[in-house]
Amino acid sequence: MPRVRFRLSAPPPVPGAILFLTGDHRAWSSDPEGWTFQDGPGGPELSAEFPGGALLNVKVRARHPDGTVTEEGDTWGGRAPAHRAVVRGDATIDLPLAGWQDEREGRDRPRRSAPPRETLTLTAPWGEQAVRLWWLENQDGELPLLILHDGQNVFDEGPTFAGESWDAAGAAQVLADEGFPCRIAALPVNHERSRRYVPYPFELNGHNSGADEYADWMRDTLLPHLHTQFGPVSPSRVALAGSSFGGLITAYAGLRDPGTYGTLGVFSPAVWPADFAFLRWLEERSDPQARVWLDMGDHEGDSLEGAAEIVALTRDLAERLRPRVAEVHFTLGEGHWHDEPAWRARFPDFLRWWLTGLEGARPAGSAR
């Protein structure tokens, strides 16, 4: 198997700390055994063998003398994106570390994308639910409405998981400037993400799904509130979208409640929980009026071979959906991994497809 040498360009966070490598290949274990960096001529380094074609997502962690573990972070003490590489043969991979996660938690991270215009709080069965809202200034009347899952990741970088966002407001502003405005409501989620988004009991939600509760709340509480705040919007002009488990709950909620959402944006759907239970559930569901955007990156998996299988599974999902909905648009993201930068790259195309494809769509202010 190919041998990969990892080289660090950062000192340990405190004297005596053990630096080690973790990642997808280790299920993100915090046990340093077998994966510690040793002193090398150019600094700490580690060599390991990986199968050819492996898709690596790795990070560096430090185990301190008292047994606590710190993970590498960004310059502002927040989470940092994983280091990524494709194993195509023997190689040396440099791992530059910007810093370590600390009590700042990235709060001072500068914005590269526009924040929401307002954040409100609604009551939900699980407690209070934040709703992050963006709209185009000086636009009134019935505008298309987009509801996004993982709302902590879709606007500015401040509250994001690893300092990467979808820049949803920036993409929406571009379409608005072309005469296709919309409003956006984004729903942040916390550690209960697997419970709220996955509609089947499995290990990550403690075999206790809350997806139906979440879907009920969106339909019965969120939508009526947004209609009250912005004015009624016909279901055909409401879109629901999300990625990974967020893509799964998008497809589930949309097909569970046909006629509620006119468009479903299903980004990189994770349909594997409970032995692909969603695919079996789908056989009895349909929404003849719904348009579905379905996509997947070609680097989403633990190897190039595994990623190709996931792409094939997603293409199969598109074929299963076609007779059950009005339209399926499938997109393959070339060179795209399972992460925010990939979804950010595909999001503007989704917005354009959604807004320009609405019945009667034409640039705002154009002659009729």
pLDDT in tens, 153-202: 999 887 776 778 999 999 999 999 999 999 999 999 999 999 999 999 99
Token pair of 250 as six digits: 């998008």
Token pair of 64 as six digits: 């301190």
Q: Which of 249, 187, 248, 247 is nearest to 212 (CA)?
A: 249
Q: Are strands 145-148 and 238-243 parallel, antiparallel or unpaired?
A: parallel
pTM listed for this prediction: 0.93
- The DSSP code sequence of 161-220 is SSS----HHHHHHHHHHTT---EEEE----TTHHHHH-SS--GGGTT---HHHHHHHIII
CA-to-CA distance for 277 and 279, rounded, in angstroms?
A: 5
* Domains of the chain, earliest start first: 3-100 (2.60.40.10), 118-356 (3.40.50.1820)
pLDDT at residue 169 in the model: 96
Residues 37 and 20 sit within 8 Å (Cβ to Cβ): yes
CA-to-CA distance for 100 and 10, rounded, in angstroms?
A: 10
CA-to-CA distance for 282 and 256, rounded, in angstroms?
A: 9
Residues 6+ positions from 177 with CB-CB distance below 8 Å: none
Token pair of 11 as six digits: 């000192």
What's phi and psi for 221, nearest 5 deg? -120, -55
Which residue has tokens 């640039």? 363
**pLDDT under 50: residue ranges of the chain:** 367-368
CA 181 to chain centre: 23
- Residue 241 belongs to what H/E stretch? strand 238-243
CA-to-CA distance for 170 and 349, rounded, in angstroms?
A: 13
pLDDT in tens, 61-110: 999 999 999 999 999 898 899 999 999 999 999 999 999 999 988 888 88
Q: Which of 44, 40, 58 is nearest to 12 (CA)?
A: 44
Residues 126 and 210 sit within 8 Å (Cβ to Cβ): yes
pLDDT at residue 270 in the model: 97
Residues 241 and 268 sit within 8 Å (Cβ to Cβ): no
Residues 97 and 8 sit within 8 Å (Cβ to Cβ): yes
Token pair of 281 as six digits: 């559930």
